[in-house]
């Protein structure tokens, strides 16, 4: 950027003056002022100082804290995993012990059930034997009463059959058959039926 100076003279003329360029005596080049790209020494010193302070602060104070925090976190996670594995192993052990105990209880229950079944089967066999003896005794008594009734009724049956047979023969032939002959035929038929 250039600054232009404008003056008016008494004769009404405008005089424009351009700034003179600085020329250094040593090199014979003109001085353009500070470079907009190249930083100044103060800026470099402040930047380097800030970087060194930040680096020291990070290296000495902040990084060890972060590192210790991360190690503590990883240690806690590792401890949590180990305690979880230990709890899982303990739970598996408890489950195995429970299953063993359950198998023992089931075996004992099966033995008790079998013992009760054996007792019930023995009692049932005894009850069936007693019932069979009572039934046999009742059957024998009934057979004896039946045989006695048959024996008592046998003469009456023979007599009734002889009378019916004689009357049927008399009706069929028109004459009365001999009573001794009818009795002998009835006796032989009843004797053959037994």
Q: Tell me, what's the pLDDT at 24?
A: 46
Over residues 68-93, the pLDDT tens digits come to 999 999 999 999 999 999 999 999 99
Residues 97, 104: Cα–Cα separation, whole Å? 10
Angle CA(165)–CA(169)–CA(171) in degrees, nearest 5?
115
Mean pLDDT, 10 residues at a time, the chain of 194 residues: 62 61 53 76 92 93 91 95 95 95 95 96 95 94 90 81 82 82 80 66
Q: pTM of the predicted model, to two decimals? A: 0.39
What is the dihedral angle through the alpha carbons of 62, 63, 64, 67, rounded to the nearest 10 degrees?
Answer: 120
pLDDT digits (tens, 9 = 90+) for 152-164: 887 778 788 888 8
> CA-to-CA distance for 96 and 104, rounded, in angstroms?
12
Question: What are the tens digits of pLDDT across the range 43-54?
Answer: 899 999 999 999
3-state secondary structure 23-81: ECCCCCCECCCCCCCCCCHHHHHHHHHHHHHHHHHHHHHHHHHHHHHHHHHHHHHHHHH
DSSP secondary-structure letter at 126?
H
DSSP per-residue codes, 137-194: HHHHHHHHHHHHHHHHHHHHHHHHHHHHHHHHHHHHHSSPPPHHHHHHHHHHHHHHH-
Cα–Cα distance for residue pair 52/116, rounded to 1 Å: 92
Rounded Cα–Cα distance for residues 44 and 38 (Å) = 10
Q: State the pLDDT at residue 154.
A: 77
Spatial contact of 15 and 9, defined as CB atoms under 8 Å apart: yes
Break the chain into its structural domains and give their ranges: 44-172
């Amino acid at each position: 950027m250039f600054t232009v100076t404008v003056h008016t003279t008494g004769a009404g003329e405008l005089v424009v003056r351009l700034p003179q360029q600085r020329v250094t005596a040593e090199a014979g080049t003109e001085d353009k002022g500070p470079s907009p790209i190249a930083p100044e020494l103060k800026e470099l010193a402040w930047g380097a100082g800030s970087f060194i302070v930040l680096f020291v602060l990070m290296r000495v104070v902040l990084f060890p804290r972060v590192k210790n925090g991360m190690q503590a976190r990883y240690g806690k996670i590792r401890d949590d995993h180990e305690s979880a594995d230990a709890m899982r192993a303990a739970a598996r052990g408890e489950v195995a012990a429970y299953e063993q105990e359950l198998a023992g209880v089931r075996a004992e229950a099966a033995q008790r059930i079998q013992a009760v079944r054996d007792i019930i089967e023995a009692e049932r066999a005894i009850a069936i034997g007693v019932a069979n003896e009572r039934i046999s005794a009742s059957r024998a008594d009934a057979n004896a009463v039946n045989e006695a009734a048959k024996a008592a009724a046998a003469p009456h049956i023979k007599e009734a059959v002889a009378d019916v047979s004689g009357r049927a023969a008399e009706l069929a032939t028109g004459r009365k058959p001999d009573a001794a002959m009818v009795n002998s035929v009835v006796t032989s038929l009843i004797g053959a039926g037994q």
